Amino acid sequence: MKSIKVLSAVLLLSGLLILGQARGALSAGVVQPLASAVRTQSTTVQAGWEKRWEETLAAAKKEGEVEIYLNAPTDTRIALADAFSKKFGLKLNVMMGSGGDLEVKLISEYRSGIHQVDLFMPGATSTTNAKKLGILSPIEPLFILPEVREPKVWINGKLPFFDRDGMIVAFLSLKNPNVIYNADLVKDGEITSYLDLLKSQWKGKTVMYDPTRSGAAQAGSANLALEWGSNEKAYEYIVSLIKQQDTIVTRDMRLQVEWVARGKYPVALWPQVPATNQFLKAGAHLAAAPLKEKGRVTPGNGGLTIPMKPPHPHAATIFLNWFLSREGQTLAVKVMAAPSSRTDVSTEGIAPMFIPQPGEQNFVQDEETTLARAPFIEGLKKVFSQLNK
């Protein structure tokens, strides 16, 4: 059987793998939830959160820094670090990587007893996998700022949790295109369905992100199985792309989009949002194919969690509240170029392909739908193992 063509770039994590030595157990002074006593006067409530905020900030300044793992365009690191440092005088250390790579890194560290990251921000699927292993903490008790705790400012009038247990914040809400193409090489309307990619004209012209890895391809292929009402049909489609159409499979999310932008492969199946944004910002002439199959509304790379033993719990709380405030989300939208889950943050400057539109038929991702993919993913990995023989 023909071998699958897998092109994976080595992520430059060596040398960056350890941001510092393990920093010991969670401080006994970790911020606790607000007292549950009923307050009848707004001034008392205000004084309560302000006092807690000031105490947390003072403790954070003693810690001095925050460590985050982040899946985002590369310029996000500098923008967030500069803004956070200027506002609070705290250092923000950022490890960049794909969701799948950061997921493997965090899980490996916790299994080894290493606790060096304060906030884990790889994407929705990767945070769900980390949660299953019991290494995440509830986040809502750490909300201090009234504008963060107010449900009305968030989509659907409720706090933006991806899961029922309040451990994963979905701070982005975006449409993730299933197919993008080089608009200089592909005409509008040439691709209107997944099945179009099986036509002879696209043989050797498509690059697919590896669907066995956490991310857009895994979600997109699982949703395709739902759309067609059969896991087997989705498996057969992917096998046909690889064996019949000579579709390239890569684990390098940036390279996948770069190849499309440069015209080496004019079509990308299930690209990752951060990489697509990076090349759109650079002026690449990319477009999203309007498929007749359902689209996907997802947090994308906008998933945020706090591991059980953050080395800087107070500084992590300050970053969490600032990042989820209108100010923080306005900056996040600007540098990540994707819509916020806050309804009071503008979508100006965001590519239309990432903005959900009223009346569209989309699969909406949450923890429940993510976990339901497990049987499909297990079968998909078996299919890929057979292709590699």
Distances from the Cα of 290 to the Cα of 101, 269, 300, angstroms: 30, 13, 19
Check if the beta carbon of residue 192 is closer than 8 Å to that of residue 182: no
Residue of 230, 233, 300, 304 whose CA lies nearest to 271? 300
- Is the model's pLDDT at 340 over the cut of 80? yes
8 Å CB contact between 20 and 304: no
Confidence of residue 72 (pLDDT cuts 50, 70, 90): confident
Mean pLDDT in residue range 144-159: 96
Backbone angles phi, psi at 377, to 5 degrees: -65, -40
Please give the average per-residue pLDDT across 23-37, as a whole number: 33
Q: What pLDDT does 112 receive?
A: 94
Q: Over the stretch 256-289, which tens digit does the pLDDT of each residue have? A: 999 999 999 999 999 988 899 889 989 999 999 9
Regarding predicted confidence, which is higher, 57 or 213? 57
Spatial contact of 281 and 102, defined as CB atoms under 8 Å apart: no
Question: What pLDDT does residue 225 have?
Answer: 96
Quick one: 232 exposed, middle or buried, by C-beta within 10 A (0-12, 13-18, 19+)? exposed
Give the pLDDT confidence score for residue 46 in this predicted structure.
Answer: 52
Residues of the chain with pLDDT > 90, as a percent, come to 75
Average pLDDT over residues 343-354: 94
Q: Are strands 286-288 and 248-250 parallel, antiparallel or unpaired?
A: unpaired
pLDDT tops 50 at residue 8: no
* pLDDT of residue 126 exceeding 90: no
**For residue range 152-199, what is the model confidence (pLDDT) as tens digits?**
999 999 999 999 999 999 999 999 999 999 999 999 999 999 999 999
State the pLDDT confidence band at 15, using cuts at 50, 70 and 90: very low
Percent of the chain with pLDDT over 70: 88
- Tens of pLDDT, residues 292-329: 999 999 998 899 999 999 999 999 999 999 999 999 99
Beta strands in the chain (DSSP E): 6-7, 65-70, 91-96, 119-121, 169-170, 174-175, 179-182, 206-209, 248-250, 267-269, 286-288, 295-298, 303-304, 362-364
The mean pLDDT of the chain is: 87
Note the residue count of the chain: 389
Region of 264 please: left (phi>0), alpha (psi -120 to 50) or beta.
Answer: alpha
Say whether pLDDT at 333 is over 80.
Answer: yes
Using one digit for the tens of pLDDT, what is the confidence trace for 203-252?
Answer: 999 999 999 988 889 999 999 999 999 999 999 999 999 999 999 999 99
Determine the pLDDT at residue 23. Answer: 34
CA–CA separation, 175 vs 73, rounded Å? 17
Residue 78 scores a pLDDT above 80: yes
Is the separation of the CB atoms in 126 and 312 below 8 Å? no
Cα gap 72→273, rounded to integer Å:
9
Sorting pLDDT into bands at 50, 70 and 90, what band is 147? very high
Q: Give the pLDDT score at 39.
A: 35
Most confident of 36-40, 96-100, 282-286: 282-286
Q: How far apart are CA 196 and CA 323, in angstroms?
A: 41
So what's the pLDDT on residue 1?
42
Domains by residue range for the chain, with CATH: 42-173+300-356 (3.40.190.10), 175-297+367-387 (3.40.190.10)
pLDDT band for 16, please (50, 70, 90 cuts).
Answer: very low
Residue 365 CA to residue 148 CA, distance in Å, equals 22
Phi, psi of 320 (to 5 degrees): -55, -50
Task: Give the per-residue pLDDT at 24.
Answer: 34
**What residues are paired with 184 via a beta bridge?**
none
